[in-house]
């Protein structure tokens, strides 16, 4: 897991440093809360455009989310390169990325035959849309959706279709929605 987190930080560092040196009045950064989408359950995200003078340009999103209940937990870090197309407050969003994830699960596998049923505890498998074998792991994501960004910044919202894929398959109909602030 540490290796994946280090890779994600190294990828994001140049973009974050570049954004710190910009002093442009155009709103090109966003923070938002997303349910579903590339974070799988929920995430808090930071999104920045590479060209701070244009919203309809390439950008990067990084987030974090998860839960811990009793002896079970899940943590995800989505990393996505995306592009906005449009004008005014209405934008089409398209992107691709990878979601790094770690979990602890107490999943029971039941097997039954004519003599009865037995269960065995599996600590290294969970299912969130697709089966995930082993922790830490990663899942690929695509992103197609609508993002509303007010002219001059402010409250923003989005809704997306987020196809997911990993070594166990492809799920084309996963979706997400988010609300946040553009500045």
Domains of the chain as residue ranges with CATH: 2-15+26-182 (2.40.160.20)
Q: What is the pLDDT of residue 2?
A: 57
Token pair 């899940």: residue: 74
- pLDDT tens digits, 109-136: 778 888 888 877 666 667 777 888 888 9
Do the beta carbons of residue 181 and residue 32 sit within 8 Å? Answer: yes
- pLDDT tens digits, 16-27: 555 444 445 678
DSSP 94-156: EEEEEEEEEEE--EEEEEEETTEEEEEEESSEEEESEEEESSSEEEEEEEEEEEE--TTSEEE
Residues of the chain with pLDDT under 70: 1-25, 106-108, 121-125
Do the beta carbons of residue 55 and residue 5 sit within 8 Å? Answer: no
Q: What is the pLDDT of residue 43?
A: 97
- pTM of the full structure: 0.75
The token duo for 75 is 């943590």
């Amino acid at each position: 897991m540490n290796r994946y987190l280090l890779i994600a930080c190294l990828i994001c560092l140049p973009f974050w440093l570049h954004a710190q040196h910009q002093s442009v009045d155009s709103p090109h950064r966003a923070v938002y809360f997303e349910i579903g989408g590339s974070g799988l359950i929920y995430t808090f995200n930071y999104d920045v455009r590479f060209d701070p003078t244009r919203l309809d340009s390439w950008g990067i999103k990084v987030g974090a989310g998860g839960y811990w209940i009793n002896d079970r937990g899940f943590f995800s870090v989505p990393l996505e390169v995306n592009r906005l197309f449009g004008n005014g407050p209405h934008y089409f969003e398209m992107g691709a990325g990878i979601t790094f994830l770690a979990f602890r699960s107490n999943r029971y596998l039941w097997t039954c035959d004519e003599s009865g049923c037995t269960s065995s505890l599996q600590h290294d498998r969970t299912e969130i849309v697709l089966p995930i074998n082993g922790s830490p792991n990663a899942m690929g994501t695509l992103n197609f959706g609508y993002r509303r960004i007010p002219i001059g910044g402010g409250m923003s919202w989005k809704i997306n279709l987020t196809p997911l894929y990993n070594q166990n398959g492809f799920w084309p109909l996963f979706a997400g929605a988010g609300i946040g602030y553009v500045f």
